[in-house]
Structure 1
Amino acid sequence: MKNVTISDVAKHAGVSKSTISQYLNGRYEYMSEHTRKKVEYSIRELNYRPNIIARSLSQKSTFTVGIIVANILHSFSTHIIRAIELNFNKNGFHTIVCNADDEPEKERQYIEMLMAKQVDGMIIFPTGDNLDLYEQMKKKKYPIVFMDRTIEGLGIPSILLENEQAAEVAVKALTDNGHSRIAILTAPITRNITPRLERIEGYKKALVSRGIQVRDEYIHSVEVEEMKVSLRNMFELDQRPEAIIAGSDRVLVEILNFAKEHQLVIPKDLAVIGIDDVSFANLFTPQLTTISQPTTKMANKAVELLLQQIKGEQKLSKTIRFGGQLNMRQSH
């Protein structure tokens, strides 16, 4: 059985080969809706499969992009990845997803592997410890966009949450409910991970603006495995926290586990607000107050910026931030 070619599809649809090429490249603006539907029907009817290798050679593009996520366990990461993949799929691109586990060496290996595969560009949640590699990519004008984190001075387009604002919103919600002894728990800040640093800074600013003392013993940034000890230390203080802000969804889970283990009633014994929404927020008792990120909008902007670079439409490198949404529930 012979392979179906573009010529076969064009003949079946009654259009030119160039029209079929425009369709395969997603350039639907060059044809009418009627023509597009005819081409779609012919492709399905003939079971046509494009020759990806030939297409890549002729257009000097693999129509593939890489996504290197810092830690795929975060619900924010999985939602972002899905939205990015969906958008690129609509634009005729395949995606390769890699999980760096917040390990710089693993991230380096994935970047080198993806470049060897000649992917057209990458969206990276940077670990922050591969500056030389990021600089090389920037120097070569390799299409790259940072997600969730940024690195000052590199001039690489970055998509982030308004992290300081998110923490300030959390503090306001807690103080509005009468809480003043407010703690914050995040993952480690040893590599200057943007959201962690900014959320702590926003937390401090919000306390100061309300005349509340910033207490170092209420600020902990540790590995997930050490969070139980950090929480225990905070709750052994003479003046233990009456409220806590979880710096991420994984941190929130650790706080909830601690509260259950120590029979703390939320919010009576401990008020809780999580930055990053979680799928079980409405199912938990009490329902969890969270600040969610607009993942679809952030993903779409990242895809837009990367496609501009891939197409050679050089734009000014910039950091774009999105505001979070406070989901008022019962845990604060």
Structure 2
Amino acid sequence: MKKITMADVAQMANVSKSTVSQYLNHRYEYMSGDTRARIEEAIATLGYRPNILARSLKQKKTSTIGVIVANILHMFSTQVIRAIEDVCSSEDINVIVCNADDNPEKEKKYIEMLRAKQVDGLVVFPTGDNLELYESMKKEKYPLIFVDRMVKGMNIPSVLLDNETASEMAVDHLYSRGYRRIAMLTTPLDKGITPRVERVEGYKKALKERSLIVPPGYIKGVKLTDMQNVLEEMFNQPEVPEALFSGNDLTLLEILKFVKKKGMSIPRDLALISIDEVSFSEIYEPSLTIISQPAFEMGKYAAEKLLEQIRSNAKPDPMNVRFSPSIVVRKST
């Protein structure tokens, strides 16, 4: 079959090739409704498909960005991706999403793959271990935004939660309800992942300000697969926690499994509060008190700032933008 070209569309619609090009690039300012209708009908009749690769080479843009998340299972990650996609869809920008599983090798592979595909910029939830790769993109002035995490020594624009305030908010709420033995469980701290470390620091700071002592075994940062054993140890101590602060949504699920297994009653046997809203928090019985991240606002902001970088071709000013958490008080505390 003969390949249908822009010239064929122009001939059928009785317009110039440049008018068809303007139509395909959504530049309708000086185009009549009748002209648009003829071009649209010609495209449909001929089955014309624009050569995206050729257009990308000509414009030096692919109208595509990449998003590399650390762990797509987190509700926060899903919400941020949705917000990024909403912004990009409204701007006719395509989004490719990759899941790094907190694995530096996977992250490196995805960055190299997306750059080979000539995506116009990247939103990355960084593992923190690919310093040379981050640095090379920074030197090239390649459009790049970090979300949820900072990387020490890298002056790359980052969008984060005010994590210490989030933890202080959780402790303050539990304290105001009369709880004094407050424990915290989260995912591993050994890699220095920003939100995990900052949330633990905020928790410690809040307890200190209230003259509360943290007994040994009350702060744990471990793999999800080890959490059931850690919770067994935590609740076999002479003084068991009255309240438990979960560092994220996946940790919360492990805590709820443990509570069900042990036949514990929330909040009678254990008060529970978590960072990150989850889909079932209102319908769980009892409903769950949550420190909520403004994930959609954070994703929207990250997307808008990345698109600004892409359009201006200018090196961005290093910045760390912190979004404020909020508390949603329900029955688990």
Structure-1-length-normalised TM-score: 0.91
1:85-119 CA distance string (max 9 Å, x none): 22112212211111111111111111111111111
- Give the match for residue 122 of structure 2: 122
Matches within 5 A, 1:55-204: 55-204=55-204
- Alignment size in residue pairs: 328
Q: Distance in 2 between matches of 1:298 and 1:35?
A: 39
1:288 matched to 2:288? The reply is yes
Matches within 5 A, 1:251-266: 251-266=251-266
Q: Distance in 1 between matches of 2:11 and 2:220?
A: 64
SS at match of 1:291: strand
Contact 1:234 1:240 in 2 (8 A): yes
- Give the match for residue 43 of structure 1: 40
Q: Distance in 2 between matches of 1:280 and 1:177?
A: 23
SS at match of 1:180: coil
Contact 1:68 1:110 in 2 (8 A): yes
1:317 matched to 2:318? The reply is yes
Q: Does the C-alpha gap of structure 1 residues 27 and 70 become closer, same or farther in structure 2, counting only changes over 3 Å?
A: farther
- Give the match for residue 326 of structure 1: 327
Q: Does the C-alpha gap of structure 1 residues 297 and 3 become closer, same or farther in structure 2, counting only changes over 3 Å?
A: same
Q: Distance in 1 between matches of 2:34 and 2:166?
A: 45
Aligned partner of 1:307: which letter? Answer: L
Q: Does the C-alpha gap of structure 1 residues 113 and 177 become closer, same or farther in structure 2, counting only changes over 3 Å?
A: same
Contact 1:259 1:265 in 2 (8 A): yes
- Give the match for residue 274 of structure 1: 274
- Give the match for residue 242 of structure 1: 242
1:304-326 CA distance string (max 9 Å, x none): 12112212143312111111221
Unaligned runs of 5+ in 1: none
Q: Distance in 2 between matches of 1:283 and 1:105?
A: 39
Q: Does the C-alpha gap of structure 1 residues 87 and 41 become closer, same or farther in structure 2, counting only changes over 3 Å?
A: farther
> Deviation at 1:5?
2.6
Q: Does the C-alpha gap of structure 1 residues 44 and 223 become closer, same or farther in structure 2, counting only changes over 3 Å?
A: farther
> Deviation at 1:215?
3.4
Unaligned runs of 5+ in 2: none
State the percentage of identical aligned residues: 50
1:213-243 CA distance string (max 9 Å, x none): 2334210000000011111111011111110
Q: Does the C-alpha gap of structure 1 residues 23 and 194 become closer, same or farther in structure 2, counting only changes over 3 Å?
A: farther
Q: Distance in 2 between matches of 1:50 and 1:273?
A: 52
Q: Distance in 2 between matches of 1:179 and 1:41?
A: 71
Structure-2-length-normalised TM-score: 0.90
Q: Distance in 2 between matches of 1:135 and 1:98?
A: 21
1:233-258 CA distance string (max 9 Å, x none): 11011111110111110000000000
> Deviation at 1:195?
0.3
Mean Cα displacement is larger for which, 113-122 or 159-168? Answer: 113-122
Contact 1:10 1:20 in 2 (8 A): no
Q: Distance in 2 between matches of 1:37 and 1:292?
A: 50
SS at match of 1:96: strand
Q: Does the C-alpha gap of structure 1 residues 39 and 169 become closer, same or farther in structure 2, counting only changes over 3 Å?
A: farther
> Deviation at 1:39?
3.8
SS at match of 1:217: coil
Q: Distance in 1 between matches of 2:132 and 2:3?
A: 49
Q: Does the C-alpha gap of structure 1 residues 175 and 136 become closer, same or farther in structure 2, counting only changes over 3 Å?
A: same
Mean Cα displacement is larger for which, 150-159 or 48-57? Answer: 48-57
Q: Does the C-alpha gap of structure 1 residues 215 and 22 become closer, same or farther in structure 2, counting only changes over 3 Å?
A: farther
> Deviation at 1:196?
0.2
- Cα root mean square deviation, aligned: 2.4
Q: Does the C-alpha gap of structure 1 residues 248 and 263 become closer, same or farther in structure 2, counting only changes over 3 Å?
A: same
Q: Distance in 2 between matches of 1:182 and 1:111?
A: 41
- Give the match for residue 213 of structure 1: 213
Q: Distance in 1 between matches of 2:243 and 2:183?
A: 6
Aligned partner of 1:247: which letter? Answer: G
Q: Does the C-alpha gap of structure 1 residues 288 and 201 become closer, same or farther in structure 2, counting only changes over 3 Å?
A: same
Aligned partner of 1:137: which letter? Answer: M
Q: Does the C-alpha gap of structure 1 residues 289 and 36 become closer, same or farther in structure 2, counting only changes over 3 Å?
A: farther
Contact 1:186 1:246 in 2 (8 A): yes
- Give the match for residue 305 of structure 1: 305
Q: Does the C-alpha gap of structure 1 residues 250 and 7 become closer, same or farther in structure 2, counting only changes over 3 Å?
A: same
SS at match of 1:86: helix
Q: Does the C-alpha gap of structure 1 residues 105 and 7 become closer, same or farther in structure 2, counting only changes over 3 Å?
A: same
- Give the match for residue 226 of structure 1: 226
> Deviation at 1:166?
0.8
Task: After the TM superposition, list the runs of 4 or more consecutive aligned residues in structure 1 that deviate by more than 4 angstroms.
Answer: 9-12, 14-28, 34-38
Mean Cα displacement is larger for which, 144-153 or 87-96? Answer: 87-96
Aligned partner of 2:105: which letter? Answer: E
Contact 2:122 2:145 in 1 (8 A): yes
Aligned partner of 1:87: which letter? Answer: V
Aligned partner of 2:43: which letter? Answer: L
